Amino acid sequence: MKTNHPKIFIILVNYNGEKDTLECLDSLKKITYKNYKILLVDNASKNQKEFVLKIQEYFPEIKVFAQKENTGFAGGNNIGIDYAIKNQADYILLLNNDTKVAPDFLDKLIEASQKNPKGGLFAPKIYFYDKPDVIWHASCKFSWAGGGKPMQYMKKDKNKSETKIKKTEYVSGCAMLIKKDVVQKIGKLNEEFFMYYEDTDYSLRAKKAGFELFYVPSSHIWHKVSQSTKKAMTNPKIHYYHVRNALLLSKRNAPKPILFGIYIWSFYLYLKQIVKYIFLPKRRTSAKMIMLAIQDFYKGKFGKLTL
């Protein structure tokens, strides 16, 4: 480590989330860690011009990238990652724009990384924003039989002073601290995913490359999960990305001996969803999106959904 206060670039991606982004930036202004730079990527928001002017007025120290098209979660973060690496970043923090952070959250993550030199990715304890003492994401389990499983999900935190750093099997892109060595060895996020599962893919790639993943319970942030959950329930396109990208994740990372079995089991589950939705007038579009997702996966059509 070059310094006890390594240089960190914090990347936020905004897409029509001005209010959330401004609140997140307000909380970042209060953090106690000093050697950092915020990069804000606006993914072609409807009110981009006005939003960028507001950021430049209230947060002139922030580097803003105003994109002409929506490049997705992966593409947006990769713009920031490129800039950070070119500007001698020691660490990169991917942070959802709909989060609020504790003042010392970054100090705790860096302390953990310095104590665990084999670590490549580090995750804080993430609470629900509207239930500030209830856990959304702590350490995580992952298996090809059941996918990702956040531990202590929806449980009230009875040990807020917990400090024991633990290994985890994947790190959520909601808040992912990345050591520069990881980017130099495995590259950036895979833009084929566009949105959803790119963080799981990145975690699996980092582990395969020999890096360890850690959960840091003394680092705290809060996430507006309810908003994204509500959106997932009503937007058929979300079904498309979940289905296509789950299959893509398996194709890219699952052991070949079990890959065929994963496909069979997945298609059985998706068929059940299609049959269920096809008989519900309000959900028929979701059924069509699931079928399109499977079709596009087989065609090798990835990235942003185009209809």
Both 162 and 286 in one domain: the answer is no
Both 216 and 70 in one domain: the answer is yes
Provide the residue range defining the domain that includes 255: 235-299
**Distance of alpha carbon 231 from alpha carbon 13, whole angstroms:** 18
For residue 81, being part of any structural domain is answered with yes
Confidence at 226, pLDDT banded by 50, 70, 90:
low
For residue 263, being part of any structural domain is answered with yes
Total structural domains within the chain: 2
- End-of-domain residue from the set 205, 225, 245: 225
Both 12 and 137 in one domain: the answer is yes
Both 241 and 208 in one domain: the answer is no
pLDDT at 1: 38
- pLDDT tens profile 42-58: 999 999 999 999 999 99
Residues 6+ apart with CB under 8 A from 233: none
Both 31 and 163 in one domain: the answer is yes
Both 176 and 270 in one domain: the answer is no
Confidence at 227, pLDDT banded by 50, 70, 90:
low
Q: Are 181 and 120 in contact (CB under 8 A)?
A: yes
For residue 168, being part of any structural domain is answered with yes
For residue 283, being part of any structural domain is answered with yes
Both 104 and 170 in one domain: the answer is yes
Query: Which of the residue ranges 11-25, 217-231, 278-292 would you say has the lowest mean pLDDT?
Result: 217-231
- Angle, helices 198-208/236-253, rounded to nearest 10 degrees: 10
Alpha-helical regions (H) of the chain: 18-28, 48-58, 72-86, 105-115, 180-186, 198-208, 225-234, 236-253, 256-278, 284-299
Token pair, residue 129, equals: 């924003």
Q: What pTM was estimated for this model as a whole?
A: 0.93
- pLDDT tens profile 162-203: 899 999 999 999 999 999 999 999 999 999 999 999 999 999
Q: Are 212 and 120 in contact (CB under 8 A)?
A: yes
pLDDT at 230 over 60: no
pLDDT at 8: 98
- End-of-domain residue from the set 200, 225, 250: 225
119: enclosing H helix or E strand? strand 119-128
For residue 173, being part of any structural domain is answered with yes
Both 122 and 244 in one domain: the answer is no
Residue 32 burial class via C-beta count within 10 angstroms: exposed 0-12, middle 13-18, buried 19 and up: exposed
Q: What is the CATH number of the domain that holds 98?
A: 3.90.550.60
For residue 281, being part of any structural domain is answered with yes
User: Strand, helix or coil at 12?
Assistant: strand
Both 220 and 242 in one domain: the answer is no
For residue 307, being part of any structural domain is answered with no
**Distance of alpha carbon 74 from alpha carbon 260, whole angstroms:** 27
Both 217 and 239 in one domain: the answer is no
**Distance of alpha carbon 142 from alpha carbon 266, whole angstroms:** 16
Both 20 and 164 in one domain: the answer is yes
Both 277 and 141 in one domain: the answer is no
pLDDT at 150: 84
For residue 47, being part of any structural domain is answered with yes
- End-of-domain residue from the set 225, 254, 270: 225
Q: Are 121 and 92 in contact (CB under 8 A)?
A: no
Residues 6+ apart with CB under 8 A from 235: none
pLDDT at 2 over 50: no
